[in-house]
Amino acid sequence: MDSAQQTSAPTTDSRTLEVDVLVIGWGKGGKTLARSLGSSGTRVALVEQSESMIGGTCINVACVPTKTLIHQAAMRPEDAAPADWFTTSVEARDALIGKLNARNRELVEEAPDAVIVMGTAAFVDPHTVEVTQGEDRMRIVAGTIVVNTGTVPASPPIPGADSARVYDSTTLQHADPFPERLVIVGGGYIGLEFAGMFAGFGAEVTVVDPGERILPREDEDVAAGVAEHLGSAGVTFRLGSGVSAIEETADGVDVRTEDGGTVAADAVLLAVGRSATTADLGLDRAGIEVDDRGFIRVDDTLRSVSADHVFAVGDINGGPQFTYVSLDDNRIVADQLSGSGERRRSDRVAVPNTMFLTPPLSRVGINEQQAREEGRRVLVAAKPVAAIAAMPRPKILGNPTGMIKVVDDPDTRELLGATVWCVDSQEVINLLALAMRAGVTVDALRDGIWTHPSSTEALNEVLGELAPLAD
C-alpha cells in the first residue's frame, strides 16, 4: 500500500491506520479539508484510487482540461490542419494537467498530519474502511468520514454504445484519430461545450437531442441565439428525437434516431449527464442511505441523514455539480468539525454558473422565462452585445456575439437575475452574483464607475433600459 507520507497517527497493526478524519476521494472539497485539517493538528487520511485523478475531476478530466481545449480550438490558425492542431492542443492540455496534478499532491503532502493512501475504498462497518490496491489491503478507522467520490459520465442503455468509436466527455479529449465527423448525443452544457470545441477544431458536428430546443431552461431568445451561433460555426442540430442505436460501419458508425433518421460519423460523444459513484462503496455496511439515483442523502450541514459521523461533499451529495460548490461544501464541513457549526447549505444565495462557449454564457438568479412562470411583477432589460455602444471590448477582441439580459424587482430595485452571454461573462456574472447577495440596487450598478474598455461597463447602458415585463 503506497502512501505519500507517514503521520503520527497510531496504528493497531501494520495493516490498520487510525485517524480522526478519513476523506474518500480527492475532489475540491475533500483535498481542501484534508490539507486544512491536516495542517491544524487533526490526523487525516485522504484515499484516492487513481494517480491520474490526484487533484480531482475538475483539474484532471473536466473543468480545466476542457476549457484549455476550448481555448485552443478558438485559437486555431486558419491554415492549421484540424487533426494536427488537435494533437498540439492535447499535448498542451496534458502538460498543464500534469503540473496541476503534481502540485495537488504536494499541497496535501505539505500538511504535517495528513497521509495519502492510494487504492479503492469500501466500508467494512460504520467507522472502518478497507482500501485495496492490487493484493494489498489496509483498514482505516476514523471517527469522522467524508465521502467525496464524485460522479462519472452516465452510460445510457443505447444498443451499440459499447463501440470503440463511442466516447464520453473524458475519453474524447484524447480521441485518436481526430473525428472529422462527430455526433454528440445530448444538447446540455457538456454537449454544447464539446460541440463548440470540436467545431472550432474543424470537425463536422451534429448534436442529437430529444428536446424541441436546446437549453430549455434558458430564455427562448438566448437559446435561439446560441443555436444560431453554433450553427454558424458548423454545428448541425437534430432535435425532437433521441438515439435508438449506434451501428458500426466500414469507415465509422451510423447513429440511428428514434424518428427513423441516420447520421454518419467517425465518432460519437455520449453527453447525457453524470452518475453517482456509490455502488461499490459498501455504504449499506455503514448505514448510509442514498436516493433513487445513488447519491448520498444529506441534511443541510452535509451530514448523512442516517449516519451522523459521515459527511458527503461535492457531486456525490446530489447538489449542483460545480467545483466551487464543492469548495463551499468544504467550508460547511470544516465549520461542523472545528467551527461554530452554524454554516448551512441553505445559506447559499445567488450561485452563478457558466457554460464555456466562445463567448461564454453565464447565469445567476432567475431569468425572464422563470419570472413569467412564477407570475412575478418584474422589470427586464435585454440587449444584443453588438448593439451595446458602451461596451467596445467584445468588438476590440473581434467577438461581439451574445446578449445581456437582467431581471429586477420594481419595488426594491434589487437584481433578481441575469443572463450574460459575451466575452468575459464568467467574470461579470461574479460581480452580479455578489451584488445580489449584498442587496446592491440595479441603480447603483447602472451608475457604477467601471474601467474602460471592459465588459462590466455594459451595465451602464443595459440597466438604463429596464422596462416592465411584457404580457
Crossing angle of helices 189-201 and 220-232, in 10° steps, is 20
Q: Quickly list H helices, 39-181.
A: 57-60, 63-74, 82-109
For residue 139, the surrounding DSSP H or E stretch is strand 136-147
Task: Report whether 27 contacts 46 (CB < 8 A).
Answer: no
Q: Which three cell numbers stand for residue 91?
A: 499535448
DSSP type of residue 13? B
Whether 309 is a known active-site residue: answer: no
Residue 60 corresponds to which amino acid? N
Task: Report whether 332 contacts 301 (CB < 8 A).
Answer: yes
Q: Which three cell numbers stand for residue 143?
A: 471517527
Q: What is the dihedral of CA 200, 204, 209, 215, to 10 degrees?
A: 20
Task: Report whether 36 contacts 159 (CB < 8 A).
Answer: no
Task: Report whether 61 contacts 152 (CB < 8 A).
Answer: no
Neighbouring C-beta atoms of residue 331, cutoff 10 Å: 17
Task: Report whether 362 contacts 424 (CB < 8 A).
Answer: no
Q: Which three cell numbers stand for residue 367?
A: 431569468
Task: Report whether 275 contacts 294 (CB < 8 A).
Answer: yes
Closest residue by Cα to residue 365 from 405, 395, 402: 405
Q: Which of 71, 174, 229, 452 is catalytic?
A: 452
Query: 121 burial class (0-12, 13-18, 19+ CB within 10 angstroms)?
Result: buried
Angle at 429 between CA 425 and CA 430, to 5 degrees: 125
Closest residue by Cα to residue 44 from 12, 88, 91, 9: 9
Give the span between the Cα atoms of 328 and 316, in whole angstroms. 14
Which residues are within 8 A (CB) of 135 and not within 5 positions of it... i.e. 6 or more apart? none
Which residues are within 8 A (CB) of 182 and not within 5 positions of it... i.e. 6 or more apart? 198, 203, 204, 205, 206, 265, 266, 267, 268, 269
Helix (H, G, I), strand (E, B) or coil at 18: strand
Residues carrying an active site annotation: 452
